[in-house]
Structure 1
């Protein structure tokens, strides 16, 4: 089961920075994200969703491949590729993977104009290491909504507030051997 986490910021840049840091953590196998969307609110009337993956482009690419393959079977690969790209793009456009877009727009109304919110759908994470890394965002973010347990939510709130965030001792070098 995945957990939903929504963290809001007073500026747009910090939301994108947090998403970039979490993608980096994913490449280090510390977290598995199903979805990571930054919602910005440039003005009181406008809410924009910045998806991590463009499903329309991915659908068009996959559709082109399969359309070409089917077209080769029927001796018309160009028509197959064109039809495949069109249907793949349409399927990608109509697909709502991860967090529901309407839900993100609704919660995005709580974001202050000029601010942002990061919507995360987390499959797995090594909580202590992830919280250490995102504690750099302390005093900049606030948790709006989460499906975490009360204990984990409290730890997350502490990490973002900068209170009781674990400190890492400075690295020390090994003593040199005398020869």
Structure 2
């Protein structure tokens, strides 16, 4: 089962910095993230979601490839494989992008948006869905951000949450476990 951790930051670019560090930990096989989303809120109060997995782009790429292939096959039957390839690629890319835009992966976008709307303007938050980790090594590495992050929400056990708070220097009130 994955654990959800939501961290809030006082600066708009801090969440992206921590996500970069989490990706480095993932390359070292110390952290296995299922999904991660950076939420920023600009000076006007508008919330922006920056997904780590761009499903629209992935869908368009797959649609381009599969549409091109099937278009060329049908084009061969009609004695015009180039036209079939071009038309199939265009239709496939469009359909794949639409399918990617309509799908949701990992953390629910509605939950992210609702919680993201509660952060103050000119701040950011990092939503991380963790499959597994090496907690002691990850917490030691995240201590470089001590005093910059606060826990907004988590599904961690109380003991694990206390360790995370200690590593981050979070002195905020107790958080509510995620549903």
TM bucket normalised to smaller: 0.7 to 0.9
Gaps of at least 5 residues in structure 1 are: 164-179
User: Is the Cα contact below 8 Å between 1:135 and 1:162 reproduced in 2?
Assistant: no
The alpha carbon displacement at 1:13 in A equals 1.5
**How many Å separate the matches in 2 of 1:40 and 1:156?**
22
**How many Å separate the matches in 1 of 2:24 and 2:53?**
15
User: Is the Cα contact below 8 Å between 1:3 and 1:147 reproduced in 2?
Assistant: yes
Structure 1 match to 2:125: 117
The alpha carbon displacement at 1:151 in A equals 0.7
**How many Å separate the matches in 1 of 2:58 and 2:154?**
29
Structure 1 match to 2:98: 90
The number of aligned residues is 163
**How many Å separate the matches in 1 of 2:145 and 2:47?**
23
The alpha carbon displacement at 1:162 in A equals 7.5
The alpha carbon displacement at 1:126 in A equals 0.7
- Answering whether residue 13 of structure 2 is matched by residue 13 of structure 1, we say yes
Structure 2 match to 1:3: 3
- Larger deviation, residues 40-49 vs 76-85: 40-49
**How many Å separate the matches in 2 of 1:110 and 1:80?**
44
- Larger deviation, residues 4-13 vs 103-112: 103-112
Cα distance per residue 1:102-153 (max 9 Å; x no partner) = 1111111331211100000111111111101111110110001000111111
Structure 1 match to 2:175: none
**Displaced runs of 4 or more, over 4 A:** none
Structure 2 match to 1:156: 164
Q: What secondary structure does 1:34 align onto?
A: strand
**How many Å separate the matches in 2 of 1:43 and 1:2?**
33
Cα-Cα RMSD: 1.4
TM-score for both structures, normalised by structure 1 = 0.87
Q: What secondary structure does 1:65 align onto?
A: helix
